[in-house]
């Protein structure tokens, strides 16, 4: 059954409020309309696109919390952060992140997202990568969204913190890294 425009827009607004990081593509599937219809509905409702919603949440929520680097130096958008415990970021793979010939993301972008998240999760003014062990488990292509999840595994008494970062596209792991982070205090 087709929804009226008014009803669809009401449900669209409710859906985005409940899940602010939902894509226009997923919304189009949910409401059985075109992506263009979703975009027009969002414009009429003054709801920004996903990228702007993510930036807004990140700027409002994490700007005062991240200590080890300026928020705008984090690669990807932080959407969850609990210092010295866990962090989560999203990176939309754009054309500037991929090789022009095959549209596969350059590995240094996935590494940079994971490494900057490992720095951001440290509850200290200074956090530097001492060593990393990384593994790429699948290629990432233009248009995909990479969700990086960082977990602090260990804090030792010598000023090192070990952070594991796993990155996913949908629910498939595409990258994993173990980062040994130097910090100024333990």
Host domain of residue 37: 5-47
Tell me the per-residue pLDDT of 139-182, one tens digit each, with 9 for 90 and over.
Answer: 999 999 999 999 999 988 777 899 999 999 999 999 999 999 99
Q: Is the pLDDT of residue 35 over 80?
A: yes
Residue with tokens 């022009």: 100
- Regarding whether 91 and 13 lie in a shared domain, the answer is no
Instruction: Give the number of other Cβ atoms within 10 Å of residue 76's Cβ.
Output: 25
CATH number of the domain at 10, please.
1.10.10.10
Tell me the per-residue pLDDT of 36-74, one tens digit each, with 9 for 90 and over.
Answer: 999 999 988 888 887 777 666 555 554 447 666 666 678
- Regarding whether 41 and 58 lie in a shared domain, the answer is no
Q: Are 45 and 9 in contact (CB under 8 A)?
A: yes
Tell me the per-residue pLDDT of 61-119, one tens digit each, with 9 for 90 and over.
Answer: 544 476 666 666 788 888 888 888 999 999 999 999 999 999 999 999 999 999 999 99
Burial 53-71 (b: 16+ CB within 10 A, else e): bbeebbeeebeeebbbeeb
Average pLDDT over residues 13-28: 84
Report phi then psi at 128, rounded to 5: -130, 145
What pLDDT was estimated at residue 64? 46
Q: Where are the beta strands (DSSP E) in the chain?
A: 77-82, 86-92, 127-136, 145-155, 160-169, 172-183
Q: Greater confidence, 149 or 25? A: 149
- Regarding whether 128 and 107 lie in a shared domain, the answer is yes
Q: In the chain, how many domains are there?
A: 2
H helices of 32-175, in order, are 35-44, 50-62, 107-120
Q: Are 78 and 89 in contact (CB under 8 A)?
A: yes
Average pLDDT over residues 18-47: 88
């Amino acid at each position: 059954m087709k929804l009226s425009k008014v009803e669809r827009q009401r449900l669209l607004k409710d859906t985005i409020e409940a899940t602010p990081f939902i894509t226009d593509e997923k919304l189009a599937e949910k409401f059985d309309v075109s992506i263009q219809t979703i975009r027009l509905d969002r414009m009429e409702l003054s709801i920004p696109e996903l990228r702007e919603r993510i930036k807004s949440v990140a700027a409002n929520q994490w700007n005062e919390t991240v200590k080890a680097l300026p928020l705008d130096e984090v690669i990807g958008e932080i959407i969850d952060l609990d210092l010295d415990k866990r962090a989560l970021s999203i990176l939309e793979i754009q054309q500037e992140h991929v090789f022009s010939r095959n549209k596969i993301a350059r590995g240094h972008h996935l590494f940079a997202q994971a490494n900057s998240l490992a720095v951001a999760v440290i509850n200290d003014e200074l956090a530097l990568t001492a060593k990393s062990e990384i593994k790429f488990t699948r290629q990432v292509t233009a248009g995909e969204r990479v969700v990086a999840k960082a977990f602090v595994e260990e804090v030792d008494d010598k000023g090192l913190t070990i952070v594991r970062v796993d990155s996913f596209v949908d629910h498939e792991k595409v990258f994993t890294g173990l980062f040994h982070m130097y910090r100024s205090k333990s």
